[in-house]
């Protein structure tokens, strides 16, 4: 197989940052995922007692003061504060010195699925109860999605491209994949890329519950997210943020950077089928996975681990399993380790693909694969190896990360040992 990857610039990951329901850094979150720890618990950010769903995957004990001056926090919704935290961690982890020359060649792509929904909800309450004169002048910049990239760019003086992807639950993967393409093409040398989300509020929980998309296992929140299990009844809303530092490989090696992985493959597609349901047989997912393999110049048999989209919805889990079987072939699919870390974090929407990229990269880097918890009785049609309950170890060379979103949008990333 031949590919443009033989001549184009290569992209490596040199820094990781994350705040998730499992921890306040990338490495803490990953270590807790390896332990099979659940980050799902009763909601504390608002009174959910009258809602159909009382639980979510909240980021716990987050201290914005560590990343954003207090006077600036009123200009940033919670999702923006997450992006600032993740970017700060990732830059520190990378050891990259931001010289003026590097700043001119560094861009920021941090996306979000929904934006400042809690802040919109609160401000509408202020409008109706106290009138338009009491709306904060910082309201708009605190809720618009592109400020996830904008604030980071401003904070560090990064003068390369700066904008945000919005593609529902595929946002994080799209952001990382498109950032890689900017480096491959020579437009940039460094990119900060990822996703952020903080939609755990009345409108967020009530809206997804109204769609019958959420699990209603209120009596046992920690077991509510159960991908591929026959008793799964919907996803669990999560939140968080994650940012990767992507660099051109030769430059990263020249400066002696720690390299976690190479981003070798990126695939995208559209189901063109339904606004929420996956295409039959996971046809769109099939296209995106195939494209990622071709982009990476790999055969399907080269993939050893898949961090699956695995949301715990009846239709989605089945469609992804079918897509994996089609792309890898049944025999190879049954030998491939697959897990859903959403079983522990919940579904962080626009941040999910970025958080799961962090988990995928660290699985590759450490040789430790996080499990799928709560998988007690797999559905008969979900008959692959989903790494149930207990983490495993293996010297991995290539891993695949899947993200699929409302609107039929699909994004897949392949990370390889460098």
Cα–Cα distance for residue pair 87/245, rounded to 1 Å:
8
Burial class of 120 by CB neighbour count within 10 A (0 to 12, 13 to 18, 19+)? middle
Concerning whether 188 is annotated as a catalytic residue, the answer is no
- Tell me how crowded residue 390 is: count the other CB atoms within 10 A of its CB: 13
Handedness of CA 63, 67, 72, 74 (dihedral sign): negative
Pick one of 3.40.50.1220, 3.40.50.720, 3.40.50.2000, 3.40.47.10 as the CATH number of 12-254: 3.40.47.10
For 341-393, write each residue's pLDDT tens digit. 999 999 999 999 999 999 999 999 999 999 999 999 999 999 999 999 999 99
Helix and strand element counts for the chain (H, E): 15, 13
Mean pLDDT of the 181-199 span: 98
pLDDT given for residue 103 in this prediction: 98
Concerning whether 174 is annotated as a catalytic residue, the answer is no
Burial class of 69 by CB neighbour count within 10 A (0 to 12, 13 to 18, 19+)? exposed
Q: How many CA atoms lie within 13 A of 54 on its CB side?
A: 9
State yes or no: pLDDT of 4 exceeds 90: no
Whether the Cβ atoms of residue 252 and residue 259 lie closer than 8 Å to each other: yes
CATH number given to 267-416: 3.40.47.10
- Residues of the chain by 3-state class (helix, strand, coil), percent to 5: 40, 20, 40
Whether the Cβ atoms of residue 54 and residue 122 lie closer than 8 Å to each other: no
For 163-176, write each residue's pLDDT tens digit. 999 999 999 999 99
Q: Which residue among the candidates 347, 382, 398, 418 is catalytic per the annotation?
A: 347
Cα–Cα distance for residue pair 148/170, rounded to 1 Å:
16
With a CB cutoff of 8 Å and minimum separation 6, the contacts of 372 are 227, 228, 310, 338, 339, 340, 343, 386, 387, 388, 389
Concerning whether 124 is annotated as a catalytic residue, the answer is no
| Entry pTM | 0.96
Burial class of 223 by CB neighbour count within 10 A (0 to 12, 13 to 18, 19+)? middle
State yes or no: pLDDT of 6 exceeds 60: no
State yes or no: pLDDT of 5 exceeds 80: no
With a CB cutoff of 8 Å and minimum separation 6, the contacts of 306 are 324, 336, 337, 338, 339, 399, 400, 401, 402
Cα–Cα distance for residue pair 403/357, rounded to 1 Å:
10
Mean pLDDT, the chain, whole residue set: 96
Cα–Cα distance for residue pair 29/142, rounded to 1 Å:
27
Q: What angle do CA 175, 356, 180 make, to 5 degrees?
A: 30
Phi, psi of 12 (to 5 degrees): -125, 160
pLDDT given for residue 264 in this prediction: 98
State in Å, rounded, how far the first CA of the chain is from the last one: 20
DSSP 8-state code for residue 300: G
State yes or no: pLDDT of 69 exceeds 60: yes
Q: Which residue among the candidates 54, 112, 169, 173 is catalytic per the annotation?
A: 169
Whether the Cβ atoms of residue 68 and residue 30 lie closer than 8 Å to each other: no
Q: Which residue among the candidates 54, 174, 309, 398 is catalytic per the annotation?
A: 309
Phi, psi of 197 (to 5 degrees): -165, 140
Q: Is the fold of 12-254 the same as that of 267-416? A: yes
The SS3 call for residue 104 is helix
Domain boundaries, the chain: 12-254, 267-416
For 282-324, write each residue's pLDDT tens digit. 899 999 999 999 999 999 999 999 999 999 999 999 999 999 9
The CA radius of gyration of the chain, in Å to the nearest whole number, is: 20
């Amino acid at each position: 197989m031949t590919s443009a990857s033989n001549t184009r610039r290569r992209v490596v990951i040199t820094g990781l940052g994350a705040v998730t329901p499992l921890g306040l850094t990338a490495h803490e979150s990953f270590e807790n995922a390896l332990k099979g720890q659940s980050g799902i618990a009763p909601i504390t950010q608002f009174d959910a007692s009258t809602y159909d769903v009382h639980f979510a995957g909240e980021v716990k004990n987050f201290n914005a003061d560590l990343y954003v001056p207090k006077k600036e926090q009123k200009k940033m919704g919670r999702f923006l504060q997450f992006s600032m935290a993740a970017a700060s961690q990732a830059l520190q982890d990378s050891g990259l010195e931001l010289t003026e020359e590097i700043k001119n060649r560094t861009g920021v792509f941090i996306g979000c699925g929904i934006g400042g929904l809690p802040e919109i909800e609160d401000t509408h309450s202020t409008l109706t109860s106290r009138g338009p004169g009491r709306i904060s002048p910082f309201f708009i910049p605190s809720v618009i999605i592109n400020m996830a990239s904008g604030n980071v760019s401003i904070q560090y003086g990064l003068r390369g491209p700066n904008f945000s992807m919005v593609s529902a639950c595929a946002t994080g993967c799209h952001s990382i994949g498109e950032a890689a393409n900017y480096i491959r093409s020579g437009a940039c040398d460094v990119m900060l890329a990822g996703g952020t989300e903080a939609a755990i509020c009345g409108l967020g929980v009530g809206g997804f519950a109204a769609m019958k998309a959420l699990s209603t296992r209120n009596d046992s929140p920690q077991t509510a997210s159960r991908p591929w299990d026959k008793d799964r009844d919907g996803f669990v809303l999560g939140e968080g943020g994650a940012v990767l530092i992507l660099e051109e490989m030769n430059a990263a090696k020249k400066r002696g950077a720690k390299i976690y992985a190479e981003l070798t493959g990126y695939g995208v597609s559209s189901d063109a089928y339904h606004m929420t349901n996956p295409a039959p047989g996971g046809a769109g997912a099939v296209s995106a996975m195939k494209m990622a393999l071709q982009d990476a110049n790999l055969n399907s048999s080269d993939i050893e681990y898949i961090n699956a989209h695995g949301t715990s919805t009846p239709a989605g889990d089945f469609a992804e399993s079918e897509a994996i079987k089609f792309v890898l072939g049944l025999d190879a699919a049954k030998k491939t380790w697959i897990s859903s870390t959403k079983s522990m974090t919940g579904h962080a929407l626009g941040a999910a693909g970025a958080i799961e990229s962090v988990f995928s990269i660290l699985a590759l880097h450490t040789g430790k694969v996080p499990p799928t918890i709560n998988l007690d009785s797999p559905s008969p049609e979900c008959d692959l190896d989903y790494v149930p309950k207990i983490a495993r170890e293996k010297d991995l060379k290539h891993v695949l990360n899947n993200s699929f979103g409302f609107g039929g949008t699909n994004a897949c990333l392949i990370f390889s040992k460098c």
